[in-house]
Chains A and B, each alone.
Chain A
Amino acid sequence: MKLPASLYSRRAFLNGLIGGWLAALGAAFISPFVKYIVPPTREPDQVSVPLADYQDMAPHTVKGFAWGNKPGFLKRSEAGDYVAFVGVCTHLDCNITFIAEQRRFFCACHEGWYDEDGLNVAGPPPAPLRRLAVSVEGDALIVKRPG
């Protein structure tokens, strides 16, 4: 079928085509910048700490370790196992602290509380503390991301 006049003028078509090309070209130029401004993540896959430093912990006590550039906490359970948490509040990322007398973790930023198992029990935190897997290998404690 032949229309007497096109519904879409040649000019509009070419403008759209060239405009689209220019937009794609622009996006191609901008994408490296977008990629560049976010550096790769630096969270470790695993961390090894000397077992000797943590062997003498009594049950229900907590000791810190370095999980990459974040604080981590190792807790000794009743049975003598170790449990590890990332010591960062799940609300807005502040570093938390363990209050030994109350056996609870506390975030000073917005007054968030977690019990000794990392469960969010009071204040704004929306989720429990992140847990890490711990295993004893020789004279070292290996803390890994779970899974």
Chain B
Amino acid sequence: MSSLRAWIEDRLGLRPVAAFLAKKEVPCHTHTFLYYTGSSVLLFLGIQIVTGVLLALYYQPTLAEANASVVRIITEMPLGWLVRSVHSWSATFMIAAVFVHLLGIAFTKAYRKPREATWLSGVLLLACSLAFGFTGYLLPWDELSLAATKVGTNLPKALPLVGTFLTQVLRAGEDVTGDTLSRFFIMHVSVLPLALLAILGLHVFLVQRHGMSVPLDAERDKLELPAIPFWPNFFFREAAVWLVLLGVLLTIAVFAAPGLGPQADLMAPAPEGIKPEWYFLFMFQTLKLFPARILGLNGELVAVLIMMAGMAAVLLVPFIDNRPFERKGKVVTALAWAGLAYAVGMSIWSLL
């Protein structure tokens, strides 16, 4: 056994990595609970990969078969309904965990120098996660998912110059058709996973490179914080959190399996009361409220530009709030609360 280990070590030379992990420590303070949010995302990502592969064993991404193959998965395949339910709920949990992770970092200002690149890669991962949600929503090919995809892919069209081209790229042409379904499927199962894993690798590497962020006052006063070893103490705590989350996820997945609407019909009118996934609700409500024309401009264009400005602001937060212990930080915190209140308020409004 030890000679095998020596042989592997000779070929790979991983001792420094193992030594780093053995020495790695996790500081203990009032915000330590935020450290669990990142690993929760990883848990749900792992579940998504496993259940996603299982679903893809029977799913068929064609106009004629997509809806029928999902029906087959949930009615005929042993535990197929549970696999689909877990995939659907775990997606929701993962997006929620990503948002909590992002907000925790925004409020504790953990994005500041030297962690700007970590924040940037994290926002890209958020974009990947939302793209997963958006492409995955179409795959069951029911009435709701078709209408939601039509709206979502039409949004870029409002942009000048590149808008029409972007919409055509997303839809595979002028309209949402069977080609759109193929395109969304390959994005969902191949392009996005590759992109996500690459960016995630960078993200996790950067977290290790810069070490865990600590509260501002501890950093300013160079306080020596108590710490526990990552292995095994912190890891086991994480494992406990994972078990609880897994239990909650499975319970909800068993008792609230998602339904499946009638097969999408390209010619049918949009169904009443369409709603996107909950994490797009605030955008949906914003679009509903915007009038057709604002100050002589296309209302949709204004709405899309405001949303893009919001996303750019989130992406560039570390470069806007770049001086610790100054007023700017408080302004960003206030804006983050305002943005959160807006998103929550609009989402609730859209459900009324």
Contact = CB atoms under 8 A, between A and B. Distances in A.
A38 to B, nearest CB: 5
A137 to B, nearest CB: 24
A92 B150 contact: yes
A118 interface: no
Contacts of B300: 91-92, 124, 126
A125 B266 contact: no
A125 B169 contact: no
B151 A41 contact: no
Contacts of A37: 169, 172
A43 interface: yes
Contact of B175 (A66, A69, A89, A109): A69
B13 interface: no
Contacts of B270: 89, 94-97, 107-109
B173 A42 contact: yes
Given A38-B168, A38-B172, A93 B293 contact: no
Contacts of B130: none
Nearest to B183: A37
A42 B291 CA distance: 31
Nearest to A109: B270
Interface residues on B, range: 20 to 34
A125 B292 CA distance: 6
B266 A70 contact: yes
A94 B288 contact: no
Nearest to A124: B292
A120 B300 CA distance: 15
Contacts of B268: 71, 95
A97 B271 CA distance: 10
A136 B327 CA distance: 73
The listed residue with most A CB atoms (<10 A of its CB), out of B153, B176, B273, B287, is B287
A39 B154 CA distance: 17
B76 interface: no
A124 B177 contact: no
A124 B269 contact: no
Given A92-B287, A93-B176, A124-B290, 8 more contacts: A40-B173, A69-B267, A92-B151, A108-B270, A108-B271, A110-B287, A111-B288, A124-B291
Interface of B: 147, 150-151, 153-155, 165, 168-169, 172-177, 179, 266-274, 287-288, 290-293, 298-300
